[in-house]
């Protein structure tokens, strides 16, 4: 948490976002090698959202919850990325002990509550976490992420109503990357300004440029102060873009390559790096050192994950029931 985006914040932002990008790129390669199975939803292009987040909240006590594009979030909250990579490979050393996989990244120790595969399923849970913190006077804020497709779920309206009625310390963030799977925002409703959904509940709301970490931080700072002071929730539509498909199986027939390339011209990592160079925050050899550190970190994650064991058969029912599983006796 920083008061303003200064030299240290920009340098950390570059290091973080580069790690997240290279981590996800390696995940794509491992998926092609069939070392990662099932679904794989990559975060490439949206990194500025989480960079702004961790520069705004207090990760020692504030909570986060999101949908299934969730590999990067626990890393941003402080979990070592090797445990995320191990989870992706279904290994026992993974953050969910190899049982969650790509869509179910959790880290209680780092206040990351998922990773949820049901579209919109995390929205009421985020409000519930905030309710618990308010009830226990924890002075903590919950940031609940969702996509532009999830805001069309009915549970969003029930949750918005309750959150405003009880003045819960929760910030609802729609990461609008333009497409609900392969359906554009313009085709999912008769309006394209998602943030206006908050107006029906008199919830403070607004759009945010999600391609620059400092603009995300600026909007979140206001929302965090509001929530922490007891004034209730905020709804932010953070406009971003994903370079990859909805998942690895997405053929992306709904958009053109030119559209993707146009968004890459405002890439958040390139933006921060160009600013660092312009302001001479780092020398070229220091930038190269960061890039090498990131490369080595990703390799460490892969080595750790590949050398880790798979869960054993007797682990199947662990962490499911409060007590022994007694329903199958033979």
Q: Whole-angstrom distance between the N-terminal and C-terminal Cα of the chain?
A: 53
Q: Output the pLDDT for position 158.
A: 97
The residue to which tokens 């011209």 are assigned: 265
Q: Which CATH superfamily is domain 7-315 in?
A: Thiamin diphosphate (ThDP)-binding fold, Pyr/PP domains (3.40.50.970)
Ordered per-residue pLDDT tens for the chain, 330 residues: 556 789 999 999 999 999 999 999 999 999 999 999 999 999 999 999 999 999 999 999 999 999 999 999 999 999 999 999 999 999 999 999 999 999 999 999 999 999 999 999 999 999 999 999 999 999 999 999 999 999 999 999 999 999 999 999 999 999 999 888 888 888 888 888 999 999 999 999 999 999 999 999 999 999 999 999 999 999 999 999 999 989 998 889 899 999 999 999 999 999 999 999 999 999 999 999 999 999 999 999 999 999 999 999 888 888 877 777 777 666
Q: Output the pLDDT for position 163.
A: 98
Token pair of 165 as six digits: 């009625």
Please state whether the peptide bond connecting residue 115 to the residue before it is cis, i.e. omega within 30 degrees of 0.
yes
Find, among 271, 142, 148, the residue nearest to 214 by Cα.
271
Find, among 34, 43, 118, the residue nearest to 84 by Cα.
43
Beta bridge partners of 170: 142
Q: Output the pLDDT for position 3.
A: 66
At CB < 8 A and 24+ separation, what contacts does 41-44 make?
41/68, 41/69, 41/70, 41/102, 41/103, 41/246, 41/247, 42/69, 42/71, 42/242, 42/244, 42/248, 43/69, 43/71, 43/72, 43/242, 44/242, 44/243, 44/244
For 165, the 3-state DSSP assignment is: helix
Give whole-number Cα distances, 166 to 70, 169, 225, 232, in Å. Answer: 28, 9, 17, 8
């Amino acid at each position: 948490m920083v008061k303003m985006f200064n030299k240290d914040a920009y340098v950390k932002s570059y290091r973080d976002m580069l790690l997240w990008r290279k981590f996800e790129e390696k995940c794509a390669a491992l998926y092609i090698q069939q070392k990662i199975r099932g679904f794989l939803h990559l975060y490439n292009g949206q990194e500025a959202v989480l960079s702004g987040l961790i520069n705004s909240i207090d990760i020692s006590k504030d909570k986060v919850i999101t949908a299934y594009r969730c590999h990067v979030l626990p890393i941003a909250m402080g979990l070592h990325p090797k445990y995320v990579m191990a989870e992706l490979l279904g290994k026992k050393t993974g953050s969910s002990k190899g049982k969650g996989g790509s869509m179910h990244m959790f880290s209680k120790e780092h206040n990351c509550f998922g990773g949820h595969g049901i579209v919109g399923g995390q929205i009421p849970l985020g409000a519930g976490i905030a309710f618990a913190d308010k009830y226990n006077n924890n002075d903590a804020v919950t940031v609940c992420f969702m996509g532009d497709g999830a805001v069309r779920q009915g549970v969003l309206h029930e949750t918005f109503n309750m959150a405003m009625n009880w003045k819960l310390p929760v910030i609802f963030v729609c990461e609008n990357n333009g497409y609900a799977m392969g359906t554009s925002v313009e085709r999912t409703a008769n309006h394209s300004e998602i943030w206006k959904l908050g107006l029906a509940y008199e919830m403070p709301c607004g759009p945010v440029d999600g391609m620059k970490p400092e603009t995300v931080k600026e909007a979140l700072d206001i929302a965090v102060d509001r929530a922490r002071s007891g004034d209730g929730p905020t709804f932010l539509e953070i406009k971003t873009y994903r370079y990859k498909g909805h998942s690895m199986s997405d053929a992306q027939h709904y958009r053109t390559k030119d559209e993707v390339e146009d968004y890459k011209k405002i890439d958040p990592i390139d933006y921060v790096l160009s600013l660092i160079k312009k302001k001479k925050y780092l020398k070229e050899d220091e930038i190269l050192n960061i890039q090498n550190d990131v490369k080595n970190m990703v390799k460490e994650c892969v080595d750790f994950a590949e050398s880790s064991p798979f869960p054993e058969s007797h682990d199947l029912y662990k962490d499911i029931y409060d007590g022994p599983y007694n329903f199958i006796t033979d």
